[in-house]
Amino acid sequence: MISLIDTLKSFVDGAPVKKEDDTKLTIKKVSKHHETSFTERVTSMIEKGESKTARSAYTVVAVIMAVIIIACLIYTVSFLPHFGGADNPANSSEVVKAYIENGIHDTGATNFVAGMILNYRAFDTLGESSVLFIAATTVIILLFRHKTKEEEKIATVEEEVYEDKHDVILRHGALILVPVTLMFGVYVLFNGHLSPGGGFSGGTILGAALILYNLAFGDKSTQKFFNYNINKVVKISALTFYALSQSYMFFTGANRLPIPDINGVAGSLISSGFILPLNIGVGFEVACTMFGFYSLFDREEI
């Protein structure tokens, strides 16, 4: 007999609706179950996660914990200094003053944030690039696999039949959009020390252009100029260049190197010491990582 309460319960909990035979079976199982001791049954129920009471208790405890944490945080927010105030402790500290007043003299970048993250706090950005590199490496370890010959055959047939090659709108749109996106990415990359942008945003735009090219023209035409080895070499050389130049700078006094050609006049394209090359390095690293993520999740190879 399927009672109304059972159907309601199954609707709420998502459990399958029990038929008459099933209930008999469970009764038999339960009667067998009683041969074990009570504590054993309880532990097995908890281990298997089958206990509904345990599950609902978990839900209740989780909600209560979350509510308590959020209430504490909101209570703390009410004691914070007022939004947008110039005299807030965080906004009126020595560090902010030093970054803005000495920024152009020390780093040569008119974008104070770029001067901060690539000169004053360049080791922090080196850590970020390393985190991206390690993430890309772990995703390669988890997902990359060489295809067998049969799989390759199937893949080529699938590409001929299903690939977006025949999608006229996508291909023509990509023909117009890819060069524009690439140029915009390069612009953002090269003007990181003068305007909003820099290595991370420019690299992401370059990666988006690569992904669009790959979507429109297929894997084989992408692999002619961007395969696994090129990805590897570009990523590792960008990170190594960053680490070497940055450590050289720090060990020789943490100032701009006395090379007039790369220091230039503040506000011009070639200025501000190592910030421009570092932006380019970070941009290549990010572009390779983004395209690597896309193609690994799409077809388990680069």
Partner 1 sequence: MFVKELVINFYETAAIIVFGIGFVTLLLNRNIIKKIIGFNFMDTAIYLFLASKGYIAGRIAPILAEGTDPTVYQKAVNGVLTNVPTVEKYINPIPAGLVLTGIVVSVSFTAFFLALAVRLYREYHTLDLHEIISIMNKEENKE
List contacts with partner 1 (CB under 8 A): 47-50, 59, 62-63, 65-66, 69-70, 73-74, 77-80, 82-86, 88, 90-91, 95-97, 99-105, 108, 110-113, 116-117, 121, 124, 127-128, 131-132, 134-136, 138-139, 142-143, 195-196, 200, 265-267, 293, 296-297
Q: Which is nearer to partner 1, 131 or 157 (CB)?
A: 131
Q: Which is nearer to partner 1, 207 or 209 (CB)?
A: 207
Each residue of 50-87: b (16+ CB within 10 Å) or e? Answer: ebeeeeeeeeeeeeeeeeeeeeeeeeeeeeeeeeeeee
**C-beta of 21: minimal distance to partner 1 in Å?**
23
Cα maximum dimension of the chain: 89
The rounded distance, in Å, linking the Cα atoms of 287 and 295 is 12
C-beta separation of 13 from 52 below 8 A: yes
**C-beta of 258: minimal distance to partner 1 in Å?**
14
**C-beta of 230: minimal distance to partner 1 in Å?**
20
DSSP designation for 259: -
**C-beta of 101: minimal distance to partner 1 in Å?**
4
C-beta separation of 225 from 288 below 8 A: no
Residue 120: name the closest of 256, 268, 212 by CA. Answer: 256
Q: Which is nearer to partner 1, 111 or 181 (CB)?
A: 111
C-beta separation of 213 from 296 below 8 A: no
Q: Which is nearer to partner 1, 2 or 90 (CB)?
A: 90
**C-beta of 82: minimal distance to partner 1 in Å?**
5
Q: Which is nearer to partner 1, 2 or 135 (CB)?
A: 135
